[in-house]
Amino acid sequence: MANNSITPMGNSTSTWFHRWIYHIATGFMFVAVVLRSILVFESDPLLGQILLLLAAWLLFFIGSSFLFRRISWVSILLIGLETLAILSLLLLTHSIHSDFLAFLFAIVGMQVMHEYTPRLTAVVIGLSALLTFFGLLQPIGVFQALALTITYTAGTTFLVVYIGSAKHALVIQERQRSLAHELLEANRKLESYSQTVKQLSISRERQRLAQELHDSVTQTTFSMTLATQSARLLLHRDRKQVAAQLDRLDELAQNALSEMQVLISHLAPKANSESFLDTLRRHLADRQRLDNLSVELEVEGEVLLTPAEEASLFRIAQEGLNNVVKHARTTTAVLRLHLAEPYWMEVEDRGAGFDTQQAIGRGRMGLAGMRERAAVIGWSFMMESAPGEGTRIRIQKGAKAI
C-alpha cells in the first residue's frame, strides 16, 4: 500500500502553542491590572482590599480553569464569582482612575470562550458591558462611562474572537487527526482485504484446476484403465484382439495428453474456430468411439451463450456423461439444450440410478463440481434419480436449485 506514515504531531504542537498564548496573555493582563492598581492606589488605604479582591479573583480564575473538565457546574460558579469580584472592585474604588479594572472582564470573556460555547460567551460579554457601564457611571458620568464601556467591550470582543478562532482551528485539527487515523485504519483494512482476496483467488484457481482435472483427464484415465484390463483378459482368451485394445489405449493416452496441454495453456475446452455445438458433437462422437456410449443430442433455440456459460455447460455435460459411463450401467443417454427462454440443459439416462441422499452425503466431487460450475455462471443445478429409474441432471438459468 501507499505511505501510511501520517502523524498528528502538528496538531499537538498547535494545541500547545495556542494554549500557552492564552495563558501568557491572561497572565500579562492580570499583572498589568495589579501594577496599575498599586500605582493608582499606593497611598490609598483601600489598596489592601483591592489586592485582596484581585487575589481572590485569581484564585477563582485558577480554580475555574482547573475544574472545567472535572466539575463543570463548579467551574461556572467560580466564573460567576470572578465577575462579582470585578464588580466589587469597581464599586469599591469608585474613582475616575479605576476604569482599568474593567479590563478583567476581557479575561473572563476569553476564559468563557476558551472553555464553553460562543453563545454563553456573548452573554458574558453583554453582561460585562452592562456591569462596566454601571460601575463607572457615577464617578465619571454617562458619556465617559459609555465611551470606556465601548472601548473595553471592543477590546474584549477582539480577544474573544481570537480565542474563538484558535479554538475552532483546534477543533478542525482534531477532526483532521481523527480522519487521518480513520484513513490509516481504512488503509490497513483495505490491505488486509486485498491479501484475503488474493488468497481467495489462489484458492479458487486451485479449485478450478482440480475441477478441470476431474472433468477431463480423470475420465480419460478411467477409460485407459478399462482398456488395460481388457487387454490383460484378452492375453489369455484371444490374443488377436489385444492389438485393437492397445491401439485404443494409445488413443486414450493421446487424448489425455491433449487435455493436459489445454489445462496448462489455460485454453477453453474447444478450439477458437469451433462453435459450442460443434464441440459438443465432437465430444459425443468421442464418447461413442471410446466408451461405447451413444448420446442423442437435442437442441432447441439458437440464442448464443457467453463464453463462460459455454465453458461451464460443456464441463457439466462432460462430467454428467462421465457418471453415465462409470455408474449408470447403460450405453445410451440424452443431452438436451434449450437455447431460448428459459435456458436450460439436461443430461438424462435410463440406467441404474442411485439414492441422491447417499450421493450427497458421500460428498462426491463430480456432483459438487457441477453444482459449483453452475453457480459461477448464475445457473441452478437440479438432479433427479432413484435406484433402477435412471438419472436426470438439469442446469437452468436463474431457477432455484433442487
Summarize pLDDT for 10-25 with one digit per residue, the tens.
445 555 666 677 778 7
Residue 394: pLDDT band (50, 70, 90) is very high
CB 395 within 8 Å of CB 313: yes
| Euclidean distance between CA atoms 24 and 40, whole angstroms | 24
Cβ–Cβ under 8 Å, residues 110 and 163: yes
pLDDT at 181 over 60: yes
Helices (H), 141-217: 142-212
Within 8 A by CB and 6+ apart from 245, the residues are 227, 230, 231, 234
At 334 the three-state DSSP class reads strand
Report the side by side order of strands in the sheet with 332-338: 294-300, 332-338, 344-349, 391-397, 379-385
User: What is the reported pLDDT for 75?
Assistant: 77
Cα atoms in the 13 Å half-sphere on the side-chain side of 59: 7
The kind and range of the H/E element at 338 are: strand 332-338
Res. 295: pLDDT tops 90: yes
- Look at residue 354 in the predicted model and tell me its pLDDT: 85
- pTM confidence score: 0.42
Residue 365 is predicted with a pLDDT of 57
Question: Are 177 and 11 within 8 A, CB to CB?
Answer: yes
Instruction: Name the range with the highest mean pLDDT among 86-100, 158-172, 301-315.
Output: 301-315
Higher pLDDT, 243 or 298: 298
Give the whole-angstrom CA distance, residue 162 versus residue 179. 25
Cα–Cα distance for residue pair 82/181, rounded to 1 Å: 40
Residue 60 is predicted with a pLDDT of: 86
Task: Write the single-letter amino acid at 35.
Answer: L
pLDDT in tens, 105-151: 888 887 777 777 788 888 888 888 888 788 777 777 888 888 888 88
The DSSP output letter for 267 is -
Domains and CATH numbers, the chain: 9-185 (no CATH), 275-402 (3.30.565.10)
Angle at 64 between CA 61 and CA 68, to 5 degrees: 145
Span 229-260, pLDDT tens digits = 887 887 777 777 778 778 777 777 777 766 66
CB 287 within 8 A of CB 293: yes
Most confidently modeled of 36-40, 202-206, 217-221, 250-254? 36-40
